């Protein structure tokens, strides 16, 4: 089973985007839209203090009748998000995301933010591993050896 660092090394766009807790939700949604991401890390003095996602916006702004232009990110973010280390296995990450019903995991090592791992990253990895396994099994069945 692969580790988080393996997935990150294969990731085409490993850029991580963040926003300050004092920024408006409007700014966060605009940044997510501009960068085509579903979540942002919320940082203060280079420290991870939270995470804000499209889901947070829907549940805590749109459905509650708040105005995104006047609501601060800190008011709707998920504080102290779960994080994983680069040496964590993808299997553990998938279990964690499934159990906690989350789609994004910040990758942190020694307090330093390295990246954001998404459920899409994990699913793409699983599909590639399954394709490889199927190919190996087909070759085995045909008696091919390499």
Q: Which domains does the chain have, with CATH numbers?
A: 4-142 (3.10.580.10)
DSSP state of 59: I
Kindly report the average pLDDT of the chain as a whole number.
Answer: 91
Single pTM value for the model: 0.83
Own/partner long-range contacts of 71-76 (Cβ < 8 Å, ≥24 apart): 71/24, 71/25, 72/21, 72/22, 72/23, 72/24, 72/25, 73/19, 73/20, 73/21, 73/22, 73/23, 73/24, 73/25, 73/27, 73/28, 73/42, 74/21, 74/22, 74/42, 74/50, 75/25, 76/25, 76/52
Tokens found for residue 35: 């960068």
| Contact partners, residue 145, CB within 8 Å, separation at least 6 | 139
Query: Which whole-number Å values give the CA distances from 99 to 58, 65, 92, 103, 113, in the listed order?
Result: 21, 29, 10, 11, 23
- Summarised one tens digit per residue, pLDDT across range 64-106 is 888 999 999 999 999 999 999 999 999 999 999 999 999 999 9
Lowest mean pLDDT: which of 29-33, 91-95, 129-133?
129-133
Residue 116 has pLDDT above 90, yes or no: yes
Q: Which pLDDT belongs to residue 113?
A: 93
C-beta of residue 86 within 8 angstroms of C-beta of residue 2: no
- How much is the pLDDT for 144? 83
16-24: average pLDDT: 96
């Amino acid at each position: 089973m692969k580790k988080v660092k393996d997935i990150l090394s294969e990731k085409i766009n490993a850029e991580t985007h963040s926003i300050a807790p004092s920024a408006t939700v409007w700014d966060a949604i605009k940044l997510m839209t501009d960068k085509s991401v579903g979540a942002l890390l919320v940082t203060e003095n280079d420290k991870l203090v939270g995470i804000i996602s499209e889901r947070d916006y829907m549940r805590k702004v749109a459905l509650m009748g708040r105005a995104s232009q006047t609501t601060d990110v800190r008011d709707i973010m998920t504080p102290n998000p779960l994080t994983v280390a680069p040496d964590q296995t993808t299997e553990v990450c998938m279990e964690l995301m499934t159990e906690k019903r989350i789609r994004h995991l910040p990758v942190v090592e020694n307090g330093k933010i390295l990246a954001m791992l998404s459920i899409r990253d994990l699913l793409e990895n699983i599909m590639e591993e399954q394709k490889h396994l199927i190919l190996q099994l087909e070759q085995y069945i045909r008696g091919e050896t390499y």
